[in-house]
Amino acid sequence: MGSLEEWGLAGRSFGTWITWFLIGGDLYTAYTVIAVPAALYGAGAMGFFAVPYAVIAYPYMMLVLPRLWTVCHRHGYITFADFVAGRYGNRWLTIAIALTGVLALMPYIALQLVGIRVVIGAMGIHGEWPLAAAFVILAAYTYSSGLRAPAVIAIVKDVMLYVMVLVALIYIPYKLGGYAHVFETANQLLAHHTPTATIHLKEGQFLGYSTLAIGSAIALMLYPHTATAVLSAQSANVVRRNAAMLPAYSFLLGLIALLGYLALAAGVVTKDTNMAVPLLFLKMFPEWFAGFCLAAVAIGALVPAAIMSIAASNLFTRNLYGALINRKMLPEEESRMAKVVSLVVKFGALLFVLKLPAPYAIEMQLLGGIWMGQLFPSVVVGVFTRWFNPWALLIGWAAGMSSGTAMAVALGLKSSVYPLHLFGSTYPMYAAVPALLLNLAVSTVLTLLFRAMKINSGADTTDAAAYVG
């Protein structure tokens, strides 16, 4: 593991199936299994936005990611921030992109540990030592092996999750009297929630629902851990095949979401909606199979947390420390630093969970999705055209970040659907979408202005031939 490419991307050696399990293990986390059903358990149909956003994401990935993979492979780029550095030649834009990725990943890693804590709590085990033990396991198995370790565990994790979900979706409804009874009971109980909810979208929720799906799809592909999993593939065709095959996980996600309604119908009562699924398993399954399911959730936290910590290490080493010292580090130096940073990142996430209430991690994750969407003009648009001025992109990024954050803070970080007041009407929208529109508008206007003023637009050092095909 003498280079960052070997440690952080497994030497770009993964074929179709390993990449499929790795990206699946990366995007469908323990928190997905906990939080998506929890959203349906607490808020009804609005929680289903996760399913269409996954459906939207894969055609978008098919269009963008093979092209990005080709450019990154041609130039030895490890991160999407590397691509931005080569495409625009602007150190401050590169630092902004990398910093956004690291900031968005920290609460995301913490959420995986929250998922483990929920499982441990459901089993009646108290104290912080089990969480600390999970941290030690996570740190040890990624320090020496890098990305290869979570790639192997991802296969085990996905098989366990598929078994867990398929058994739950057949056995539990059978015990409860069928799906018709499940939906009817869930709808009746949701009507008594505060605020009231139903298993159908209510009037006024359509725009919030659709912008949540679109904005989340845009952000999903830009997360550093997505980049790490994709760039570890051995060819652009592997990436294309995975974009075609990954909708199988969307089917699984739809089934996972239904666990929230099953928990309602089974009479699971909890103020902490994140406990709904673990309590459902403990109530409806024999002890041995409930243990299997909770183990699947816990392993489902370790895999993405490992990939995320590697992604954060890659970004810090290559694009923050490397950009600030303004010299190219030796491969051995990069690899050594990335290993140490990965430990620091995991330890920071552990402290985040131990010292702050779990809602803080959830609320910070709302910001993470809003922030990641602001990379769209630099990365996604950048892979198709070099039209934007890098200084305009940097100012647009700042406008999007500040406006998106302000909207989330105005909601007390309790929600990311902001009631936007325009022309005498109110439009409840996912904050990432108006923030991104502002970002694009500022970037466009300033690019035109800077061109008129003949301000230097930086140098593109990427190979034009890499964008063909």
Do 427 and 207 contact (CB within 8 A), yes or no? yes
pLDDT confidence of 377, banded at 50, 70, 90?
A: very high
Domain 4-356, classified CATH 3.40.1710.10, yes or no: no
Average pLDDT for residues 367-389, to the nearest whole number? 93
Residue 66 pLDDT: 93
- Which of the pair, 195 or 68, is modelled with greater confidence? 68
Residue 357 pLDDT: 62
Strand, helix or coil at 428? Answer: strand
Residue 247 pLDDT: 83
Domain ranges of the chain: 4-356
Res. 363: pLDDT tops 70? no
Do 335 and 4 contact (CB within 8 A), yes or no? yes
pLDDT confidence of 469, banded at 50, 70, 90?
A: low
Residue pLDDT, tens place only, 121-135:
777 666 666 667 777
- Which of the pair, 363 or 399, is modelled with greater confidence? 399
Query: Dihedral of CA 259/31/306/71: which sign?
Result: positive
Residue pLDDT, tens place only, 418-446:
988 888 888 899 999 999 999 999 999 99
What percentage of the chain's residues is helix, strand, coil (to nearest 5)?
A: 75, 5, 20
Let me know how long the chain is.
469
Distance, CA of 308 to CA of 189 (rounded, Å): 37
Residue 358 pLDDT: 60
Distance, CA of 399 to CA of 391 (rounded, Å): 12
pLDDT confidence of 302, banded at 50, 70, 90?
A: confident
Residue 244 pLDDT: 87
Distance, CA of 225 to CA of 156 (rounded, Å): 19
pLDDT confidence of 327, banded at 50, 70, 90?
A: low
Q: Which of 161, 114, 150, 128 is nearest to 293 (CA)?
A: 161
- Element housing 328 (H / E): none
